Chains A and B, each alone.
Chain A
Amino acid sequence: MTLIRTQINRRSFMKLSAAAGGGMMLGFSWLASCSSPKEQYAQIPEEWFDINAYIKIGENGTVTIYSPNPEIGQNVKTSMPVIVAEELDIDWKNVIVEQADLNTIKYNRQLAGGSQSIRHGWQSLRMAGATGRRMMMEAAAKQWEVPVSELTTSLGEVIHAASDRKIGYGALASLAATLEIPAEVETKDNADFKLIGGNIKNVDAKKIVTGKPLFGLDYEQEGMLTAMIVHPPAFGMKIKSYDDSEAKAMPGIKDVIVINTEPKEKQWSDTNAFTELIAVVGESTWQVMKAKKALKVEWEQDTPAENTEDHLRLLSEALDKPGEEIRKDGDPDKASIKAAKVVESVFSAPFLAHNTMEPMNFFANVTADKAELVGPVQTPEYLRLSAMDLLGMTEDQVSIQMTRMGGGFGRRLYGNFGLEAAAISQKMQAPIKLVYTREDDMTQGTYRPAYRVAYKASLDDNGNLLSWQAKGAGIPSDPLFPHRFPAGTVDNFKIERVGIPTNISTGAWRAPRSNFIAGAEQSFMDEVAEAAGKDPIEFRLNLFDRAIKDPVGETNDYDPERYAGVLKLVREKSNWGTEMPGVFRGVSAYYCHNSYVAQVVDLEKVGNALKIKKVWCAVDCGIVVNVEGALNQIQGGIIDGIGHAMYSTLTFKDGKPQQENFNGYKLIRNSEAPLEIETFFVENGIDPTGLGEPSLPPISAALANALYKATGQRYYHQPFSSAEQVQVEMVG
């Protein structure tokens, strides 16, 4: 057991929140609990008793656990409540999970991003459960007039062994709810975990497979209208004039309006390029879709139109000039002059759309004194700030309810669609649901930036790494992390960056920057190891050895032992080094979002084509909260990473995205996925870190390195299936 002093945390929260201007540091409704009169619970004839912000317990022992964070498919709606249930010590069968609404008083960091929900939630979720358990014990102690120290719990019951008595949490809930928050609570030792580390199935799975309304697009309110937006066809354009006479006369159409969502004060999440939009509002989706097509709009150029051709040239030119130096150790230029071998390569990747399967949408009901917003958003807190700004309302006037999301991948960090819904509702004075078509979704995105990076490394006569340098450019910003591997493993090291401005809106896309740079770095590492005449895993392990024994610099942001650990694990499990006729292998490892991943890809020849037979994956994310969910995330990240490295691209002509729907934008399909993915976890008992992103970044290099073995050709430019590169036929 670990003793946690809740009082200290409570005080520190109060102090911190005052200093930070109202931010909540601890995820508890301390204030609400403390200020509630004790009689309140007895007076309200409710079946449920609120224990804290995360837990309410019914008289029959059923427990509702509120999942605080947005659910985008990363399965936190299951795994966060599992942590609470573990410490509350209850039977999972008796748990109902509910999605919490946005509430910054009760919860902290209600955000889906950076694979941080579990890492940040770990302590507060455990404390929520442990506090609830302690209050059950105190309630039983009061009722039985025995000391709390004589009590234990098991599966939702308090037990007094000395008198052979048991009582369920349900029978204690009404009394427990009146108790003060305990000053100290005990959390379990890892060895005593019953739920954590097991397999708990997705709590929404039954609803998903039976088609129950769960998603934003499924949300409905009485009298609700449907709205769609018309945005400029190209980045750099704006509305000049429009003729809505035909559209307005169509059946079911209520109005055609112009909205402007330009914020007075921009949040980081306000990235959208198009703030002035035309909205068509009507009774049903199809009617609005048809009216949208009947609208005649004249657009005018506002800022210069951009083209993919120009982007490629600008990226290439950017790497010919010196960049901004963001880390330098030793003198890599000098070192490479004296080197026995110099290796140089350039890698690139295009813009990508997020393409969540559920297109952007949001419900809004804005009246004179309040705004009710419901829908899929990864950053409800920031959407509320932007909505307050747009509507001129205060925090208590704007409510946000989070629906399950049909994918996020970073797109729903940027809640412009929520603001658009609010603006439309305000103007229409009606509840509306804004729905994007797929074309709206793909052509009005907040895209993954386009990147290009040039690497240069040098080796001595014995194949030891003398220098490593990378110069990266991006539209609008570079993909590099100056303190990540191989920083710290080599005396002469340099990172330079160049940003190229654009009028195309860009933002985080699953594992931002890492989603490209991991693949580039780990492919280049493979080339360098080959030039050194060394096994690629051995070559990396030697570098980690240096970082363990005698690291260069003090700002390296990874743990070389854990990094080496996943490589060793994948080497062992995949029998790396064993010749397998007809199988071509590539390896890669990366650290991001606080977790370590190493992967081996096995490609197999099927006739003249290649098939990804198997991906071996070793992961160090500390404690695995829910194994089934973790495996699902890892498999998904790998397939997502393979798909985008192989097939996907978004290009521009005269500012206009050239791919508008899934017939032009290729996403990986069933038959192109690996046949098998086998994952191995490092067991080290360290507090858990995220899994929504870390399996994606390294896979493009493991694939590229395996493709090299199979074809003799290095794959430098994504998508690997592009016409410019030596074509390899993949089974699909």
Chain B
Amino acid sequence: MAAFSIKVNGKTHQVDVDSDTPVLWVLRDHLKLVGTKFGCGIASCGACTIHADGNAIRSCSLPVSAVKDMELTTIEGLSKDGDHPVQEAWLEHDVPQCGYCQAGQIMNAAAFLEKNSNPSDEEISQAMNGNICRCGTYIRINQAIKTAASKMS
């Protein structure tokens, strides 16, 4: 066990955990930020996607010791009132079915749109390929990203 200081959603937290503890479990177990989901543990499904310095990363595979001074953002911190254009577009298109993967989808989409504000259909689906939706909401995800892009650009 060791003490780590990590910055999540603009706030610095002290946690006392093993140095190899993935950020996913620090968020969920220690900081009680459970919006970030556990899906596979091997960075294959995208359910645990968060932002590290604005980049979409898989929190299940990022050990807490590697975070250092990265600024982490989780679904809880994506916007103050749940009104990020991607979140709003998700509501407008009624995307979720079971909803479990959607925090990861949203975090991935939000980071993607920051880098490409006017993506083509193909760019969207390629960018979202790392995020599995077992319910099959892909068409709505892509429509929502289009809507969000039009509002963000």
Binding site for B on A (CB under 8 A): 72-75, 199, 201-202, 204-206, 208-215, 217-218, 220, 226, 251, 284-287, 290, 355-359, 404-409, 435, 437-438, 628-629, 632-633, 635-640, 643, 661-663, 667-671, 673-677, 732
Contacts and interface: CB of A to CB of B under 8 A. Distances in A.
B45 interface: yes
Residue of B18, B101, B135 with most partner-chain A CB within 10 A? B135
B98 A211 contact: no
A378 to B, nearest CB: 12
Nearest to B121: A675
Interface string B107-144: 00000000000000110111011011111111111100
A628 B94 contact: yes
19 contacts: A74-B97, A202-B99, A205-B94, A209-B82, A213-B35, A215-B37, A284-B17, A285-B25, A286-B22, A359-B38, A632-B137, A632-B140, A635-B139, A639-B139, A662-B39, A662-B42, A662-B132, A669-B132, A670-B131
Contacts of B25: 284-286
Given A285-B25, A632-B94, A677-B139, A670 B129 contact: yes
A217 to B, nearest CB: 6
A357 B33 contact: no
A674 B33 contact: no
B54 interface: no
B87 A210 contact: yes
Q: Give chain B's interface secondary structure class.
A: loop
A220 B134 contact: no
A210 B18 contact: no
A409 B97 CA distance: 12
Interface in B12-41: 17-18, 20-22, 25, 28-30, 32-41
Given A205-B91, A206-B91, A211-B76, A284 B35 contact: no
A355 to B, nearest CB: 6
Contacts of A359: 38-39
Nearest to B47: A357
The 8 A-B pairs of least Cβ separation, nearest first, read: A211-B35, A406-B100, A73-B98, A639-B136, A211-B75, A208-B99, A73-B97, A662-B44
B29 A357 contact: no
B97 A632 contact: yes
Contact of A661 (B42, B134, B135): B42
B128 A407 contact: no
Nearest to A665: B44
B136 A407 contact: no
Contacts of A215: 37, 100
B101 A357 contact: yes
Interface of B: 1, 17-18, 20-22, 25, 28-30, 32-42, 44-45, 47, 74-76, 82, 87, 90-91, 94-103, 106, 121-122, 124-126, 128-129, 131-142
Contact of B90 (A74, A205, A284): A205
Given A290-B18, A635-B140, A214 B129 contact: no
B92 to A, nearest CB: 9
B4 to A, nearest CB: 13
A667 B134 contact: yes
B105 to A, nearest CB: 9
A670 B142 contact: yes
A667 to B, nearest CB: 5
Given A215-B100, A663-B42, 8 more contacts: A205-B99, A206-B82, A211-B33, A284-B30, A356-B100, A667-B134, A671-B128, A676-B139
B136 A640 contact: yes
Nearest to A407: B98
B138 A358 contact: no
A205 B28 contact: no
Given A358-B100, A670-B128, A286 B17 contact: yes
A212 B35 contact: yes
A213 B44 contact: no
Contacts of B40: 438, 661-663
B59 to A, nearest CB: 12
Given A211-B75, A358-B98, A407 B29 contact: no
Nearest to A695: B136
Contacts of B21: 286
Given A201-B94, A209-B87, A671 B135 contact: no
Contacts of B30: 284
In this complex, the member of A74, A218, A290 whose beta carbon has the largest number of chain B beta carbons within 10 angstroms is A218
A673 B139 contact: yes
